[in-house]
Structure 1
Amino acid sequence: MHSMIEQWRHVFKLDPDRELSDEALERICLSGTDAVMVGGSSGVTFDNTVDLLARIRRYEVPCVLEVSEQEALVPGFDLFLIPVVLNAGDKEWIVGRQQQAVKEYGAVMDWQYIAPEGYIILNPDSTAARVTEADTQLSVRDVEAFARMADQLFRLPIIYLEYSGTFGDMELVKRVKGLLKHARLLYGGGIDSPDKAKQAAAAAHTVVVGNLIYDDVERALATVQAVKEYV
């Protein structure tokens, strides 16, 4: 299962709460991206997640669910990612929600298809930062310490640097990648062109493209080729 994550260079992230035409979804799924991740910071329900999964399942692309709402835990995905927001101010997002989900479903969970992802949220204006009350005023050493802790102490298979809505500091992303011994570094935020996708591909292991899909699907599709060319 974790070998699947190790292959990812480019991932599209789809929000069940946002409209996407069948034609656009088809092009996303056939684009050559390594996986489609389903998840969002608000408005995610069982119904809209089931609906989106059914539409994606017409295609061969690997499909993973990022579980942000226990009620929206929909079976049938290839992999379930459980976010642990390392710099959350509200501990609900570190161990609270996760413990509740395990309390509810622990006996029937197939753990080989479940992976934790350590989030470090770095854009104070993002929905994710507000919802989790994230402490985004972090020094470089703070970010490095969170990354080392997630990688070496907790042995999380994924670390996700989340700048949602803005393009991040690629030097910092590069530094974090250089520290990691085990984890895969995902980068997401502000990728609104093939050029930025290429910069992110140079800095992180895996580039996640989300909002651009809903703003300009042509440019979003062009990021796949940009990342593949870089690699």
Structure 2
Amino acid sequence: MRQMIKSWRHVFKLDPDRELGEAELEAICLSGTDAVLVGGSTGVTYQNTAALLSRVRRYELPCALEVSDLEAAVPGFDLYLIPMVLNTSDTAWLHGHHRRAIERYGSLIPWELLLTEGYIVLNGDSSVARLTGADSSLSGEAAAAYAQIADKLMSLPIVYLEYSGAFGDMETVRTVREMVEISQLFYGGGITGEPEAEQAAALCDTVVVGNIIYRDVQAALLTVQAVKNTPQIRLE
């Protein structure tokens, strides 16, 4: 499973709680993106997640579920990404919900399909920051320290810089990039077109594009090649 995400340069994130027409979904799935990630912070249910999966399954590309709500853990995805919010003092988002899931589902969990994300939430105005109580007022050095916890102490496959709704501080992203050596570095937040996509792609392994899909699908589609055509900066 780690090997699968190594090839992901561009990912579209679809929210089960938001409407997307058939033509728009087809354009997204045939765009050349490397994968579709299904997930959201609020309003995600088993029913709307299962419905979105059945629509995406008509197309031949990897489809992963980011499990943010235990009730929305739908079988049939290629991969399940399990967030651990590193910059929160609420341990429910570090391991509490995870313990309850294991107690409840136990032997039903497809461990071979699970990958853990070390989330660093950096937009205090976002739904995910409010939901998890994340301390998003971090310096670049503090964010990089959290990233090293995920990368070096915990050996997590993914470090996820989440700006959710706002374009991130690229200097902070660069500082984190300098410290992440093993984990796949994901970036998400505020990608509204090619310029932002290129900036994020230069520093991160995987760029996740979400909200712009629902406002301007044509702008979203342009981000695929913008990311894929941007070489990563190799920092010394």
Q: TM-score, normalised by structure 1?
A: 0.98
Whether the 8 Å contact between 1:192 and 1:219 is mirrored in structure 2 is: yes
Matched, 1:19 2:22: no
Find the aligned partners of 1:69 and 1:21 in 2 and give their Cα distance: 24
Alignment of 1:76-155 (within 5 A): 76-155=76-155
Find the aligned partners of 1:86 and 1:203 in 2 and give their Cα distance: 21
Given residue 38 of structure 2, which amino acid in structure 1 is its aligned partner? V
Find the aligned partners of 1:49 and 1:86 in 2 and give their Cα distance: 26
Find the aligned partners of 1:108 and 1:67 in 2 and give their Cα distance: 15
Deviates more, 1:134-143 or 1:64-73: 134-143
Whether the 8 Å contact between 1:35 and 1:61 is mirrored in structure 2 is: yes
Find the aligned partners of 2:25 and 2:109 in 1 and give their Cα distance: 29
Deviation at 1:53, TM superposition (A): 0.1
Whether the 8 Å contact between 1:85 and 1:132 is mirrored in structure 2 is: yes
2:211 alignment partner in structure 1: 211
Alignment of 1:32-47 (within 5 A): 32-47=32-47
CA RMSD of aligned residues (A): 0.8
Deviation at 1:175, TM superposition (A): 2.0
Deviates more, 1:42-51 or 1:195-204: 195-204
Find the aligned partners of 1:17 and 1:33 in 2 and give their Cα distance: 21
Find the aligned partners of 1:105 and 1:132 in 2 and give their Cα distance: 23
Matched, 1:183 2:183: yes
Whether the 8 Å contact between 2:140 and 2:175 is mirrored in structure 1 is: no
Matched, 1:229 2:229: yes
Gaps of 5+ in 2: 232-236
SS in 1 for 2:182: coil
Given residue 208 of structure 2, which amino acid in structure 1 is its aligned partner? V
2:202 alignment partner in structure 1: 202
Deviation at 1:228, TM superposition (A): 1.4
Deviation at 1:106, TM superposition (A): 2.4
Find the aligned partners of 1:11 and 1:99 in 2 and give their Cα distance: 28
Find the aligned partners of 2:33 and 2:144 in 1 and give their Cα distance: 29
Find the aligned partners of 1:121 and 1:224 in 2 and give their Cα distance: 24
Find the aligned partners of 1:138 and 1:221 in 2 and give their Cα distance: 32
Deviation at 1:178, TM superposition (A): 2.0
How many residues get paired? 231
Whether the 8 Å contact between 1:177 and 1:205 is mirrored in structure 2 is: no
Find the aligned partners of 2:125 and 2:191 in 1 and give their Cα distance: 16
Deviation at 1:15, TM superposition (A): 0.2
4+ runs deviating over 3 angstroms: none
Q: Percent identity?
A: 58
1:3 alignment partner in structure 2: 3
Q: TM-score, normalised by structure 2?
A: 0.96
